[in-house]
């Protein structure tokens, strides 16, 4: 009956996460919630939808319940009710997620509805777990024979809960670290200290701009692409740069990283001019770029690709940085000695991002990280970007997916034919009629 022990262990984790969810609901109710609280709701929704809905519930319905029905006609109404719960679970978690990420998530009405939804989610989950433990499991112990248990045990032992396994499946790999970090004991999952290498950083009051671009112009031959662009990025911000193809977004990033000449204007970092610094010196100063199209070195191993990202750093620091990247992207650890070319598009994007992180960036430049990726992978990439922002890394994100970029951006610029057409908070631009018509198809 190993399968029942596995399910009961998973139930304990679900109740623990459910308790954390209720604690977050209390923060919303008493007005102490902040952006991190919303983000943690999203991560908890990731856990439930990614694991419970895709693995836990599926194995129960398709394996355990099927075997019980083969052995007895008793309890059919309860099994049918439990399966109804399974089918409705996805919609419940998606409602939580949408309330946590919508642009007006801080509105009074949304918060009130979110508090009610959290309470309803917890009641339904507790009722479901109680029905399984008090009725379904005793019935299984009574009617299933040894042959049934051999098959059921093998199937349930073949996968594990990502919150308790050291190296969980790729799709769930970040959740244990994320939720543990954001919910330390006694509210969360029992972490005594921050176990994530990317810990949140506190910003000092009234900081100076990390990056200032003033009147920047650049082009290719006689064709000028940028016409006097000015922008500013504060420490810890996630700034999005959106616009149509050919607007000059990538050219601006190339100017900042030092691989594209500047014809007019200036670039400074922490008040120090870097307009004419070589690219290698900008890397030393903390500017690291993830290029459009990923550009990993496909014949080389995954680990050698990562080591290249830290080539300017002391050798003694490389191993520590590798462990940090592997903790963030466990699939890269599992395949570290394989050629980078065997990775999927989403995994290559993780590798390109990890390679940039090996340089210990103060300013991370991301050029079209979602390009060519499936929607589910895009969602995971954007969650990774938000996690890095939460860790205090300053990010300039170039992205054609304007809706996704503006939804996570602290501040944003809209670039049109080499000029800044609009700027403002990401949430404000997401509601701007001009932006909605031009870039969101609304």
266 in Cβ contact with 214 (< 8 Å): yes
* C-alpha to C-alpha distances, 195 to 88, 198, 199, 230, nearest whole angstrom: 34, 9, 8, 39
pTM over 0.75: no
Q: What pLDDT is stored for residue 238 in this prediction? A: 93
Q: Tell me, what DSSP letter sits at residue 294?
A: -
Provide the β-strand partners of residue 189: none
417 closest CA partner among 225, 190, 206: 225
Q: What pLDDT is stored for residue 163 in this prediction? A: 46
Angstrom distance (rounded) from CA 388 to CA 281 = 23
SS3 271: coil
SS3 167: coil
Q: Which domains does the chain have, with CATH numbers?
A: 2-182 (1.20.120.520), 211-439 (3.40.50.300)
Angstrom distance (rounded) from CA 301 to CA 374 = 24
Q: What pLDDT is stored for residue 376 in this prediction? A: 66
* C-alpha to C-alpha distances, 324 to 201, 354, 357, 360, nearest whole angstrom: 16, 9, 9, 11
Question: Which residues does 87 contact at the CB level (< 8 Å), separation at least 6?
Answer: none
SS3 219: strand
Instruction: Give the relative orientation of helices 345-357 and 315-328 as an angle to the nearest 10 degrees.
Output: 140
Angstrom distance (rounded) from CA 72 to CA 56 = 23
Provide the β-strand partners of residue 232: 212
* C-alpha to C-alpha distances, 414 to 94, 102, 130, 248, nearest whole angstrom: 30, 21, 52, 11
Q: Tell me, what DSSP letter sits at residue 311?
A: T
Burial 324-345 (b: 16+ CB within 10 A, else e): bbbbbbbbbbebeeebbeebee
Angstrom distance (rounded) from CA 321 to CA 358 = 6
> What's the distance, CA 242 to chain centroid?
20
Question: Which residues does 333 contact at the CB level (< 8 Å), separation at least 6?
Answer: 167, 326
Query: In this structure, what token pair is assigned to residue 288?
Result: 């690291």
pLDDT in tens, 61-98: 888 888 899 999 998 998 999 888 888 887 888 888 88
Angstrom distance (rounded) from CA 272 to CA 95 = 47
Taking the chain (442 residues) in consecutive chunks of 10 residues, what is each chunk's mean pLDDT?
78 81 88 82 79 67 87 90 86 87 85 94 91 89 88 72 43 49 47 38 60 96 94 93 91 95 95 93 93 90 93 84 82 89 88 92 93 76 80 88 85 93 87 74 51
Angstrom distance (rounded) from CA 195 to CA 179 = 11
356 in Cβ contact with 385 (< 8 Å): no
Query: In this structure, what token pair is assigned to residue 97?
Result: 């997620």
Provide the β-strand partners of residue 415: 420
């Amino acid at each position: 009956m190993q399968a029942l022990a596995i399910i009961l262990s998973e139930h304990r984790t679900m109740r623990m996460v459910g308790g954390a969810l209720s604690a977050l609901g209390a923060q919303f109710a008493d007005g102490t919630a902040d952006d991190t609280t919303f983000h943690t709701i999203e991560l908890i929704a990731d856990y439930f939808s990614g694991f419970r809905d895709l693995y836990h519930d599926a194995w129960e319905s398709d394996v355990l319940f099927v075997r019980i029905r083969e052995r007895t006609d008793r309890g059919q109404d309860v099994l049918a009710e439990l399966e109804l719960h399974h089918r409705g679970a996805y919609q419940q978690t998606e409602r939580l997620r949408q309330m946590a990420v919508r642009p007006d998530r801080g509105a009074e009405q949304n918060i009130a509805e979110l508090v009610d939804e959290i309470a309803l989610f917890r009641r339904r989950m507790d009722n479901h777990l109680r029905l399984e433990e008090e009725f379904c499991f005793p019935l299984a112990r009574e009617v299933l024979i040894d042959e049934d248990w051999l098959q059921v045990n093998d199937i349930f032992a073949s996968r594990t809960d990502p919150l308790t396994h050291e190296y969980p499946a790729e799709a769930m790999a970040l959740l244990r670290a994320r939720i543990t970090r954001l919910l330390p004991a006694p509210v969360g999952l029992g972490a005594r200290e921050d176990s994530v290498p990317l810990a949140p950083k506190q910003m000092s009051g009234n900081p100076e701009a990390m990056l200032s671009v003033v009147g920047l112009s650049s082009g290719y031959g006689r064709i000028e692409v940028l016409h006097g662009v000015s922008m500013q990025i504060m420490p810890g911000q996630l700034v999005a740069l959106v616009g149509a193809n050919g607007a000059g977004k990538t050219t601006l990033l190339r100017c900042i990283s030092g691989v594209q000449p500047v014809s007019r204007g200036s670039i400074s970092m922490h008040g120090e001019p870097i307009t004419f610094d070589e690219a290698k010196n900008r890397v030393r100063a903390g500017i690291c770029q993830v290029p459009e199209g990923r550009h990993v070195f496909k014949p080389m191993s995954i680990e050698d690709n990562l080591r290249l990202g830290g080539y300017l750093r002391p050798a003694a620091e490389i191993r520590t940085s590798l462990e940090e990247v592997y903790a963030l992207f466990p699939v890269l650890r599992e395949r570290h000695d394989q050629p980078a070319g065997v990775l999927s598009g989403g995994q290559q994007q993780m590798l390109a991002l990890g390679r940039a992180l090996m340089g210990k960036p103060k300013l991370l430049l991301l050029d079209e990280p979602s390009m060519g990726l499936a929607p589910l992978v895009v969602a995971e990439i954007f969650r990774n970007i938000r996690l890095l922002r939460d860790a205090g890394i300053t990010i300039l994100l170039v992205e054609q997916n304007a809706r996704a970029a503006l939804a996570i951006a602290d501040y944003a610029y809209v670039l049109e034919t080499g000029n800044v057409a609009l700027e403002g908070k990401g949430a404000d631009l997401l509601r701007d009629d001009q932006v909605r018509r031009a870039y969101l198809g609304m």
